[in-house]
Amino acid sequence: MDGGRRGKPVGGVLRRLLNQIGGALVFPLLAIGISFLIGAVIIIATGNNPVAAYVALITGAFGSPSAIGRTLVNATPLVFTGLGVAVAFRAGLFNIGGEGQVFIGAITAAGLGVALGPLGLLATLVCLLGCILTGFLWGAIPGFLKAFFGAHEVVTTIMLNFIAINLATYLALNTLRGEGLVPGTDTVAAAVRLPLIGLGLGRANYGILLGILAAVVAYVLLWRTGRGFQIRAVGLSPGAANYAGMGIKANTVLALAIGGAFCALGGFVQVIGVEGKMSIPFVANLGFNGIGVALLGRTHPVGVVFGALLFGGLQAGAQQMQFATDVPLSLSDVLLAVILLFVTATKIVEFVVGKRARTLAAGTRLDEGLGR
Amino acid sequence: MSETRPGGGAAGASSPVVLEMRDVTKTFGPVTANDHVSLVLHRGEILGLLGENGAGKSTLMKILYGLYRPDWGTILVDGEEVEIRDPKDAVARGIGMVHQHFTLIPPLTVAENIVLGAEPRRGVSLDLNEAIRATERLSERYGLRVDPRARVADLSVGVQQRVEILKTLYREARILVLDEPTAVLTPQETEDLFEILKELVADGLSIILITHKLGELLGVSDRITIIRDGHVVETVNAAETDERALARLMVGRDVLLRVEKVQAKVGQPRLGCEDLVVRSGTGAEAVRGVSLEVRAGEVLGVAGVDGNGQVELAEALAGTRPVGSGSVYLDGEDVTALGADARQERGLAYVPEDRQSKGLVQDFALYENNALKTYDEPPFSRLGWLFPRVMRRRASENLDAYDVRPRDPDARAGSLSGGNQQKAILARELSGDPGVIVAAQPTRGVDVGAIEFIHRQLLEQRERGKAILLISLELEEIRSLSDRIVVMYDGCMVGEMSADEATDETLGLLMAGRGVEV
């Protein structure tokens, strides 16, 4: 038999603190560490120096104001799509429709932004509300189908992606087509745009503040309102929620609708913040990366913000890395993929690092249900 | 640390030791489920393994059956040290287990279920005839009457259990472990089972019986090992002990097995139903025209074997399951159309039979669970905005009043033991001072100390003039708490009597469907 250690629990208060803060961070940090190690192996295999490559990666992400600016630009829409996935996930639902919801938000923002140009900041506000509305309605569709017909939201949200992307693209290239070399809608007037932060941060705009505000809203919604209480209860235990008289159907529709609204705002910041128009081809993978961001952030609004910054940083840094060394851009995708793999497949981390890591992280949600 | 005393029963110290577990230790994170546990099983003996829920007896047996690997300790079968890595190893060593929740495949026949995984072959194909012959041979040899060609889905629970036992015998088990086997049986079926067990040990098998039912153990086992909090407390001879002593060993203090009950002061009917028909999840009629009423100050006990419509009846009365036809009354008002929260506002408290997936949100903190039905009312919320601090404070008071451990409102509900979870649910339901209480299996899977507490709480509510409907699979509980008793069989009420008139025999017959319809 394996030699036994009589396991003694670490002292009470310290342990609880470790659990709450440390526990939540242990896995993401370990995952990042392991993925960087694996990345180093790949870098060596391409004949490059991993240290130089990682230095370039980190400088390209956070090493200068312009680098930080690029990171923020990348991260901002991901905060929204991450929240869109996270909120739905709290209700036990998988929102894979972020991609389409972003496009819906983008075309709404572009359309309203151009039409209401003269209204300046008021137009910005109307665009914001308009995107929330259209995203909400678009997200309500799979919610409704699930609640009343049992149609699995993974299937319906993916199908609706195709519809939304094609619909928005069609509108951008036909009905709302603008002049100019780059195909897409007209450019929204400067007065409607989200102001740049300046400070040498390049194209970074106040959309990131909106993102943080959205994260606060998501947190307050989930933990400080009666509706959020219901959403979480339904997600964690539909049986108990039903017993308590909470409407499962209503909360299903609402959770996916709210998720859609958040994701649509990702399209909003991309159009009104970064690009000024909806150009075709439009930025891709915001919705799908939102899933990764949500998982990395353990579906908590605070985690989503940090996850988005990590994603944004790796994407920004990869360009510098390719410039300074010869390591291809796609390494950042590989790193992200490995990070996600380890964050979600916690048993792999345990295998690599040993049971102590799992004991440390015991009590955090992802650890539940792994078999005691 | 543990001490085992050599057994003195019919198959006592004189028989060779077939199984020994030494210093078995198993931890799950900070929780030590088994702490240097040792036990000894002699050939031809029935060893009772007694302990509260969470004491560690299931963990120990899962280690024996290869479902868990111990952190420390050794297992010896017939004196030889063995390593059991998975159930296949256990079976190869002659260890068979009959789980509390059967692992049969309902659409297949008895013979098919028995040989599943070790099928007799003729060339490449399954030799069904041999399977049937093998079943008949075993059935005759051990006196376990079954029809090899019968479909498992058509069999009663008692017969299904015999099939489970035959499965282990087919694999030549010499050591049989039964986990809470009587939880699903009527009193008569329990007697039959114990007869079978005695015949099996006469044939040379050795049996470990896991249970929390003290009385039964005394009737059938030779020795009893008591486990508490992961340690072996003592091993005693069944002939030399009694229920009170066992309860004291199990819990660590004196336990009232039958709570004192004052004379009932019965008032007006407060809860009632008329010709109630309720459909189960599968669409079949689970409750077929039941009428009953519960009056203030009385406990109406609903007895019956699991699966005869009690769950659906409770849910329909509480409002969490829609009614097919008929009506439900609360204080004279027809509430059939009202949902659970509306009925709760009118003073109906409901303790559901499934605390894991219905009574509590396991991943919510205790303070959130405490407000599960009232979160949208002041003082917990105003205009949709929640006040967690108020929720925590109120939860703290409740947890104190109902002896929930740990008294931490931030503790995750799922981390509590079964008994404490049930007390937390009780705290929530009773703190609103309801007029009517529907309690379905309130002490299922709950340790003896908590059972005593819960029973006292229910009787206190009874003395305060509340109307209580108690649904339970435990006849002991029904008889000790109820003023009147009804029996449910196949969705109908088949008997009604005062508690004084009821005997285990009459109730047992009614529960098995061999009584007169009311």
pLDDT digits (tens, 9 = 90+) for B139-149: 988 888 889 99
A5 contacts B71? CB cut-off 8 A: yes
Measure A142 CA to nearest chain B CA, in Å.
25
**Cβ within 8 Å, pair B339-A9:** no
A-interface mutation test, from B383, B386, B387, B416, most A Cβ less than 10 A away: B386
Inter-chain touch A368–B363, beta carbons under 8 Å: yes
Q: Dump pLDDT digits (tens) for A209-264.
A: 999 999 999 999 999 999 999 999 999 999 899 888 888 999 999 999 999 999 99
Q: Lowest-pLDDT range, A25-39, A339-353, B388-402?
A: A339-353
Chain A window 234-273: which residues touch B at a Cβ cutoff of 8 Å?
236-237, 239-245
Report the pLDDT value the prediction gives residue A18, as an integer from 0 to 100: 55
Tokens of A122: 């008021």
The answer to whether A100 touches A266, Cβ cutoff 8 Å, is: no
Segment B267-276 mean pLDDT: 91
When comparing pLDDT for A28 and A265, which is higher?
A: A265
- Whether residue B384 and residue A4 make contact (CB cut-off 8 A), yes or no, is no
Strands (E), B280-396: 285-295, 299-303, 325-330, 333-334, 348-351, 381-382, 385-386
Instruction: For the beta carbon of residue B137, count every other beta carbon within 10 angstroms.
Output: 11
Of all residues in chain B, the one with the smallest CA distance to A227 is B384
Residue B12 pLDDT grade (very low, low, confident, very high; cuts 50, 70, 90): low
Q: Which of B126-140, B377-391, B404-418, B424-438 has the lowest mean pLDDT?
A: B404-418
For residues B445, B449, B452, B453, the Cα torsion angle rounded to the nearest 10 degrees is -100
Question: Binning pLDDT at 50, 70 and 90, where does residue A337 land?
Answer: confident
Residue B414 distance to chain A (closest CA, Å): 10
Closest residue in chain A to residue B341, using alpha carbons only: A245
Helix or strand holding residue B208 (H, E): strand B206-211
**Chain B residues inside the 8 Å CB shell of A2:** 69, 71-72
Whether A236 sits inside 8 A of B360 (CB atoms) is no
Rounded Cα distance between A43 and A46, Å, is: 5
Identify the CA nearest to B392 among candidates B417, B418, B370, B414.
Answer: B370
Chain A: closest CA distance from residue B386 (Å)? 5
Domain limits of chain A? 66-311
Chain B residue with Cα closest to A357: B29
pLDDT for the residue B6: 35
| pLDDT value of position A368 | 36
Instruction: Report the pLDDT averaged over residues B321-339.
Output: 90
pLDDT at B281: 74
- Does A371 touch chain B if contact means CB atoms closer than 8 Å? no
* pLDDT score of B167 more than 90: yes
For residue A222, what is the nearest residue in chain B, using CA coordinates? B386
pLDDT reported for residue A347: 60
d(CA A198, CA A196): 5
Predicted confidence at residue A351, as pLDDT, reads 61
Lowest mean pLDDT across A52-56, A318-322, A359-363: A359-363
Q: Which of A317-326, A338-347, B31-40, B442-451 has the lowest mean pLDDT?
A: A338-347
Which of A7, A10, A236 lies nearest to residue B361, judging by beta carbons?
A236
Ranges A25-39, A261-275, B503-517, most confident: A261-275
pLDDT in tens, A71-107: 999 999 999 999 999 999 999 999 999 999 999 999 9
Q: Checking phi first, is residue B173 left (phi over 0); if not, alpha (psi -120 to 50) or beta?
A: beta
Which positions in chain A touch B319 (Cβ < 8 Å)? 245
Contact with chain B for residue A355, Cβ under 8 A = no
Segment A294-307 shows an average pLDDT of 90
pLDDT at A135 (0 to 100)? 97
Residues 107-136 on A with a CB inside 8 Å of B are none
Comparing CB atoms, the residue among B29, B30, B361 nearest residue A233 is B361
Asked if A135 and A95 touch (Cβ cutoff 8 Å), the reply is no
- Mean pLDDT score, B447-451: 78
Q: Which of A223, A227, A368 sits opposite B384 (nearest CB)?
A: A227
- Weakest mean pLDDT among A53-67, A339-353, B108-122: A339-353
Confidence band of A23 (pLDDT split at 50, 70, 90): low
- Report pLDDT for A9: 43
Q: What is the pLDDT of residue B428?
A: 92
A358 → chain B, closest CA residue = B29
- The DSSP symbol for B253 reads S
Which residue has better confidence, A171 or A339? A171
Most confident of the following: A42-51, A270-279, B12-21, B49-58 = A270-279
* Any B CB within 8 A of A45 CB: no
Top residue of A10, A90, A237, A300 to mutate, by most chain B CBs within 10 Å, is A237
Chain A: residue whose CA lies nearest to B83: A1
Residue B406's pLDDT is 80
Distance of residue A38 Cα from the nearest chain B Cα, in angstroms = 29
Task: Tell me the average pLDDT across A12-25.
Answer: 59
Supply the pLDDT for residue B9. Answer: 39
The percentage of chain A sitting over the pLDDT mark of 90, rounded to a whole number, equals: 48
Using pLDDT thresholds of 50, 70 and 90, give the confidence band for residue A372.
very low
Fold classification of A66-311 is ABC transporter involved in vitamin B12 uptake, BtuC (1.10.3470)
Those residues whose C-beta lies under 8 Å from the C-beta of residue A239, and which sit 6 or more positions away, are B354, B357, B358
Strands B206-211 and B46-51: parallel
pLDDT at residue number A39: 86
Determine contact: B119 vs chain A, CB below 8 A: no
Mean pLDDT for all residues in chain B: 86
Can you give the pTM of this predicted structure?
0.75
The confidence score (pLDDT) of residue A16 equals 57
User: What is the SS3 assignment for A335?
Assistant: helix
Looking at chain A, the whole-number percentage of residues with pLDDT higher than 70 is 86
**Cβ(A196)–Cβ(A121) below 8 Å:** no
The pLDDT of residue A370 is 30
Interface contact B4, partner A, CB < 8 A:
no
* Residue among B29, B342, B364 minimizing CB distance to A236: B364
Amino acid at A9: P
Q: Which residues of B touch A5 (CB under 8 A)?
A: 71
How do beta strands B381-382 and B484-489 pair? unpaired
Q: Which amino acid is at A47?
A: G
Q: Which among A7, A227, A243 has CB closest to B340? A: A243
A226 and B376 within 8 Å at the Cβ level: the answer is yes
Read off the pLDDT band of B293 (50, 70, 90).
very high
pLDDT band at A365 (very low <50, low <70, confident <90, very high): very low
- Does residue B347 register a pLDDT over 60? yes
Q: Does B123 touch chain A (CB under 8 A)?
A: no
Say if A12 is an interface residue toward chain B (CB within 8 Å).
no
- pLDDT tens figures, B457-515: 999 999 999 999 999 988 888 988 999 999 998 889 988 998 888 887 788 788 877 76
Look at strands B175-179 and B206-211 and give their pairing: parallel
Tell me how long chain A is. 372
- Hey, is the C-beta of A20 within 8 angstroms of any chain B C-beta? no
Asked if A5's CB is within 8 angstroms of B386's CB, the reply is: no
Q: Is the pLDDT assigned to residue B53 strictly greater than 80? A: no
Residue A211, pLDDT score: 96
Q: Which residues of B touch A233 (CB under 8 A)?
A: 361, 364, 372
Q: Does A6 touch chain B (CB under 8 A)?
A: yes
CA–CA min distance B72, chain A (Å): 5
CA nearest B376 in A: which residue?
A226
Q: SS3 for B67?
A: coil
Q: Which of A243, A246, A300, A356 to mutate to test the interface with B (most CBs of B within 10 A)?
A: A243
Residue B284 has pLDDT above 60, yes or no: yes
Given A1, A15, A224, which is nearest B72 (Cβ)? A1
Interface predicted TM-score (ipTM): 0.80
Q: Judge whether residue A70 has pLDDT over 70.
A: yes
Euclidean distance between CA atoms A312 and A318, whole angstroms: 10
Is some CB atom of chain B closer than 8 A to the CB atom of A17? no
Tokens of A358: 């799992």
Q: A324 to chain B, minimum CA–CA distance in Å?
A: 47
Given this model, what pLDDT does residue A4 score? 35
Residue A334, classified by CB atoms within 10 Å of its CB into exposed (0-12), middle (13-18) or buried (19+), is: middle
* Chain B contact for A225 (CB, 8 A cutoff): yes
Q: In the Cβ-directed half-sphere of A264, how many Cα atoms lie within 13 Å?
A: 29
- Return the number of CB contacts < 8 Å for A and B: 101
Residue A227 touches partner B, C-beta closer than 8 Å: yes
Contact of B339 with chain A, judged by CB distance below 8 Å, is answered with yes
Residues in A closer than 8 angstroms to B378, CB to CB, are none
Q: Which residues of B touch A245 (CB under 8 A)?
A: 319-320, 339-342, 344, 373
pLDDT for the residue numbered A233: 95
A225 DSSP assignment: B
Tell me how far apart the 2 most distant CA atoms of chain A are, in Å: 78
